Copies of this chain bind each other. A is one copy, B any other.
């Protein structure tokens, strides 16, 4: 049965959550692990992220019995706390640049919940992380692991994953840092860039790199490619504006003899000496690590004055967004992108 997930909720409505259909039965729902993943998404202290407190304890409503999945639809819900919606009335007619305020309004005929971004809010990534944590638990049983790090943040670059030799042992180390990076130095420089962005009343974008290890050969199809499955889920994550596999856009200035991945027998095993294709050939996994990068645009909400429009009165307006906002979501986005990856890989594996 195909794995399917539906995320529901609005930032300032009664709650947010997710329904998963097509889960296997008998999966142990390790709430400690799930909680640790939810924690990775939470705002960090020390000015590296938004100081707004979020509890985000998911309650499992259905689909789990005596600590294991039943196989029937699993619903988990997070109640929204006492949000002060009156904050929003003053600026509710003003479209925030680079946000979905205007497109959402047109799409839903003006009936969408505008408070805090409504269904477009980054808060909706909390149930996605919950669902992704479940997927990771199942994948771990198959020997498949998903990890990510911030490859770039503004001008700072981290050391990339080794496309051939990336190991899940690195993932825990990365997640333990203040920001998820491979290099300690990059971690510190990125923190400085974030602080500078904050003091400059702006925000900063970056690139997340993901690795999936332990991937079996032969998953995906030419007509329903593994890249396509991943990318469709990825573009439902707010702020994602691009995805590339392996060498990605680097292929655009490359020559075939430089980037074709040579193959060899390693005893009984087929290996590739390089992995420029990011573990996928013809839409199908090659057995090498699946590696890809997604770009996250700078947080749209910045405190500088911006040119915009009043959507109700159809006039030009100037907007200065109040309140504290994340100058950079790359750290929190890493676990979100991992979650969307884990769900995609599980969908592809369960479909075969």
Q: Which residues of A contact B (CB under 8 A)?
A: 1-2, 6-10, 13-17, 19, 21, 25-26, 59-65, 68-75, 77, 95, 97-100, 102-104, 106-113, 118-120, 124, 152-155, 197, 200-207, 217-225, 227-229, 231-236, 238, 240-265, 268, 270, 273, 276-278, 280-286, 293, 295-300, 302, 304, 306-309, 314-316, 327, 351-352
* CB contact between A112 and one of B25, B248, B302, B308 (< 8 Å): that residue: B25
CB pair B61–A15 under 8 Å, yes or no, is: yes
Rounded to whole Å, the gap between the CB of A306 and the closest CB of chain B is 6
Considering the complex, give the chain B residue whose CB is closest to the CB of A154. Answer: B253
Interface pair A228/B235, CB less than 8 Å apart: yes
A253 touches B205 (CB 8 A): yes
A13-B65, A102-B281 are known contacts. Are A109 and B71 too (CB-CB below 8 A)?
Answer: yes
A206→B252 contact, CB < 8 A? yes
Return A109 CB to nearest CB of chain B, in Å.
5
> CA A200 – CA B245 in complex, angstroms?
27
Q: How many copies does the complex hold?
A: 4
> A8's contact among B19, B231, B253, B260, by CB below 8 Å, is which?
B19
The minimal Cβ–Cβ distance linking A200 to chain B, given in whole angstroms, is 8
| Complex CA distance for A54 and B17, rounded to whole angstroms | 25
How far apart sit A110 and B74, CA to CA, in the bound complex (Å)? Answer: 16
Known: A227-B241, A228-B235, A231-B231. 9 other contacts (CB 8 A): A13-B61, A14-B59, A17-B62, A65-B118, A71-B112, A77-B77, A106-B217, A107-B220, A200-B255
Q: B284–A104 contact, CB under 8 A? A: yes
Known contacts A13-B62, A273-B307, A308-B262; A8 and B224 CB within 8 A of each other: no
Is A99's CB under 8 angstroms from B282's CB?
Answer: yes
Interface centre among A75, A110, A154, A243 (most CB of B within 10 A): A75
